[in-house]
């Protein structure tokens, strides 16, 4: 890709960007939230047409004006926003728009199912081709998405944060699969904010900042600090360093959960969070962590158990009760649950606090604008202004809006489910700082995370869940290494 430029409404998003990909190479594309990574890839896949610049494949200049042109050039992308249809089966999703149609145009079920079976076996994924997508966990959606791209016989495969919803084991399966693909001569562009992955599987890295090339380098010739520095554009404090915090465990807990059970996934969970405390929740995917949060917050119904806020028992039957009781939940699948994408940044942010922003019968617009502006600044959200349609923001910046929205509601208890998926390294540390600041102000925080460095950086105490039960409770001080926590999680 040579000198690719792209603007939206006069705002330059890509400024003469160059990018090259060798046969059988895994090339990391990195940069902060809103740096232009997805937009660059969308010009390669025909979602957007570049304003200027050229694309060459196998030395030949090609014109990619739409997604069909991209497919004709064997380019396939796994989008951050899943492109699957939840109500269809895995096989139907994979072969829906494809060759497995009979002459009448109907989907040839049997052939599709067989092909899907083969593909999933190759991926070593335990999904039945006949499973309906919405019945599967988010991790399996991603696997289906990857299988779909691979089924298109891609020569150039673009993966946008493919591991963000995968467990450690699934990620390893993905990495060994990537290795197999490399050996077959398939070239992969790998977008990720996770440093460990880049150093593990990529051959080269290209970093963008504010729509411009910063560097392209062989992975073996570049160090972690240099990568971070190029992304952030400045030296950064040590990321993910744990700071011991002081708070008292003698006072009334802000949140107390007693013998909570819900369905098959949450079984007799009890814990307390004291004012100023950050409680981390570790566990494998499927261990019931998100379900526990959802049942505390009244999204999933509770079979038994009590929730006390500041010592008082609360009836929480739905999220409205939860918000009234001083709780806030930032869910894992934010794009589905957390935002109204066709509304503006401002509207999304003020949604939970509309009643507080009333002036007579109307909304106090200037107060709302002021608040939204403040939050955009505080969280360093990259947007032209607060009136921009949320769907037009980059993925990572959308995540920050969900966080902003709940910060605005000033809850006593903040529950965060995978708070830093998709956000860049700079923003990750910013989020950790914001969470610490909230705790310092006496809030109680519950953080669910699969990223152990993040969990270890942020938590004062960690509980481990396994098959719906709380199997361990550890003081952060007692955990010496990431491996120790890993053992605590997997030792069942
Ligand atoms: N259709 C559009 N209209 C207006 N602005 C857009 C559009 N698409 C992208 N942008 C803007 O372009 C910039 C780059 O976005 P892009 O999605 O490419 O970032 P990214 O590097 O992929 O970020 P992230 O890591 O957060 O996914 C952002 O500021 C975004 O708001």
Judge if 98 and 154 occupy the same domain. Answer: yes
Atom in ligand 1 nearest the alpha carbon of residue 35: 21
Picking from 171, 201, 232, the residue at the C-terminal end of a domain is 232
The per-residue pLDDT for range 94-112, each reduced to its tens digit, is 877 555 444 444 456 787 7
Judge if 162 and 261 occupy the same domain. Answer: no
Picking from 187, 217, 232, the residue at the C-terminal end of a domain is 232
Judge if 324 and 176 occupy the same domain. Answer: no
Lowest-confidence pick of 49-58, 100-109, 153-162:
100-109
Run of H or E including 92: helix 90-95
State the distance from the centre of ligand 1 to the C-alpha of 79, rounded, in angstroms: 13
Q: What secondary structure does DSSP assign to 239-294, as a single string?
A: TT--------SSS--SEEEEEEEETTTEEEEEEEE-TT-EEEEEE-TTSSHHHHHH
How many other CB atoms are there within 10 angstroms of residue 186's CB atom? Answer: 21
User: Model ipTM?
Assistant: 0.97
The predicted model gives 380-385 an average pLDDT of 90
102 located within any domain: yes
State the distance from the centre of ligand 1 to the C-alpha of 374, rounded, in angstroms: 21
Number of domains in the chain: 2
Judge if 61 and 197 occupy the same domain. Answer: yes
The predicted model gives 356-361 an average pLDDT of 82
Judge if 166 and 261 occupy the same domain. Answer: no
Would you say 94 and 112 are in contact if contact means Cβ atoms under 8 Å apart?
yes
Judge if 268 and 203 occupy the same domain. Answer: no
For ligand 1, atom 2: residue with the closest CA? 392
Judge if 451 and 391 occupy the same domain. Answer: yes
172 located within any domain: yes
State the distance from the centre of ligand 1 to the C-alpha of 24, rounded, in angstroms: 28
For the chain, give the percent of residues with pLDDT over 90: 51
94 located within any domain: yes
299 located within any domain: yes
For ligand 1, atom 17: residue with the closest CA? 394
The per-residue pLDDT for range 331-347, each reduced to its tens digit, is 876 666 678 889 999 99
The per-residue pLDDT for range 179-200, each reduced to its tens digit, is 888 888 889 999 998 888 999 9
Higher pLDDT, 130 or 174: 130
Crossing angle for the helix pair 425-440 and 224-232, nearest 10 degrees? Answer: 80
Would you say 48 and 39 are in contact if contact means Cβ atoms under 8 Å apart?
yes
Judge if 215 and 274 occupy the same domain. Answer: no
Evaluate if residue 421 carries a pLDDT over 50.
yes
Cα separations (Å) of 436 from 7, 123, 229, 444, 475?
A: 37, 40, 24, 10, 17
Residue with tokens 């989020």: 431
Judge if 461 and 321 occupy the same domain. Answer: yes
Judge if 283 and 225 occupy the same domain. Answer: no
Would you say 305 and 260 are in contact if contact means Cβ atoms under 8 Å apart?
yes
For the question of whether the overall pTM of this predicted structure is more than 0.90, the answer is no
Picking from 197, 232, 267, the residue at the C-terminal end of a domain is 232
With a Cβ cut-off of 6 Å, ligand 1 is lined by 8, 13, 31, 33-39, 382, 392-397, 424
Which tokens sit at 250?
């003698």
State the distance from the centre of ligand 1 to the C-alpha of 31, rounded, in angstroms: 12
Atom in ligand 1 nearest the alpha carbon of residue 80: 27
For ligand 1, atom 6: residue with the closest CA? 392
243 located within any domain: no
219 located within any domain: yes
Evaluate if residue 80 carries a pLDDT over 80.
no
Q: What secondary structure does DSSP assign to 51-89, as a single string?
A: SEEEEEETTEEE---SHHHHHHTTEEEE-SS----TTSB
pLDDT for res 108: 61
Judge if 168 and 262 occupy the same domain. Answer: no
Domain around 435? 255-490
240 located within any domain: no
State the distance from the centre of ligand 1 to the C-alpha of 383, rounded, in angstroms: 9
For ligand 1, atom 9: residue with the closest CA? 392
385 located within any domain: yes
Lowest-confidence pick of 3-7, 79-83, 282-286, 463-467:
79-83
Judge if 369 and 466 occupy the same domain. Answer: yes
Evaluate if residue 488 carries a pLDDT over 70.
yes
Atom in ligand 1 nearest the alpha carbon of residue 397: 26
The predicted model gives 120-125 an average pLDDT of 76
How many other CB atoms are there within 10 angstroms of residue 416's CB atom? Answer: 25
pLDDT for res 336: 60
Instruction: Report the CATH number that the domain containing residue 485 is assigned in CATH.
Output: 3.40.50.300
pLDDT for res 138: 64
pLDDT for res 238: 65
State the distance from the centre of ligand 1 to the C-alpha of 181, rounded, in angstroms: 29
The predicted model gives 461-489 an average pLDDT of 92
């Amino acid at each position: 890709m040579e000198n690719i430029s792209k603007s939206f409404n006069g705002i330059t998003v890509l400024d003469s960007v160059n990018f090259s990909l060798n046969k059988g190479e895994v090339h990391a594309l990195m940069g902060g939230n809103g740096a232009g990574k997805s937009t660059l890839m969308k010009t390669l896949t025909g979602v957007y047409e570049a304003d200027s610049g050229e694309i060459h494949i196998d030395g030949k200049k090609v014109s990619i004006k739409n997604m069909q042109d991209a497919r004709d050039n064997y380019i396939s992308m796994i989008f951050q926003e899943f492109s699957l249809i939840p109500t269809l089966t895995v096989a139907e999703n994979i072969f829906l728009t494809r060759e497995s149609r009979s002459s009448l145009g109907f989907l040839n079920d049997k052939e599709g199912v067989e092909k899907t079976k083969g593909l999933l076996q190759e991926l070593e994924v335990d999904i039945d081709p006949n499973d309906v997508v919405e019945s599967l966990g988010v991790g399996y959606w991603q696997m289906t998405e990857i299988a779909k791209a691979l089924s298109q016989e891609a020569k150039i495969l673009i993966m946008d944060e493919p591991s963000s919803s995968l467990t450690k084991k699934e990620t390893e399966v993905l990495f060994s699969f990537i290795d197999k693909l490399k050996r077959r001569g398939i070239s992969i562009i790998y977008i990720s904010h996770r440093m460990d992955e880049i150093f593990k599987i990529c051959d080269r890295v290209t970093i963008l900042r504010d729509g411009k090339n910063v560097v392209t380098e062989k992975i073996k010739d570049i160090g972690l600090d240099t990568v971070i520095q190029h992304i952030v554009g400045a030296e950064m404090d040590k990321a993910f360093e744990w700071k011991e915090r002081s708070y008292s465990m003698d006072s009334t807990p802000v949140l107390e959960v007693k013998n909570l059970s819900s369905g098959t996934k949450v079984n007799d969970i009890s814990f307390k969070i004291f004012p100023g405390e950050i409680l981390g929740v570790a566990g494998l995917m499927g261990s019931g962590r998100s379900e526990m949060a959802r049942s505390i917050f009244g999204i999933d119904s509770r079979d038994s158990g009590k929730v006390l806020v500041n010592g008082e028992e609360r009836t929480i039957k739905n999220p409205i009760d939860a918000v009234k009781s001083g709780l806030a939940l930032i869910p894992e699948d934010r794009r589905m649950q957390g935002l109204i994408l066709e509304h503006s940044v401002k509207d999304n942010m003020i949604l939970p606090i509309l009643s507080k922003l009333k002036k007579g019968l109307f909304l106090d617009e200037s107060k709302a604008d002021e608040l939204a502006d403040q939050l955009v600044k505080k969280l360093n959200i990259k947007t032209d202004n607060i009136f921009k349609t949320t769907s037009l923001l980059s993925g990572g910046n959308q995540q920050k809006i969900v966080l902003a929205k709940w910060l605005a509601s000033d809850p006593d208890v903040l529950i965060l489910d995978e708070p830093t998926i998709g956000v860049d390294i700079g923003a990750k540390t910013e989020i950790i700082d914001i969470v610490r600041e909230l705790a310092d102000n006496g809030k109680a925080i519950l953080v669910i995370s699969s990223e152990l460095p993040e969990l270890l950086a942020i938590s004062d105490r960690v509980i481990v869940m396994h098959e719906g039960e709380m199997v361990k409770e550890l003081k952060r001080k007692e955990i010496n290494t990431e491996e120790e926590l890993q053992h605590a999680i997997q030792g069942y």
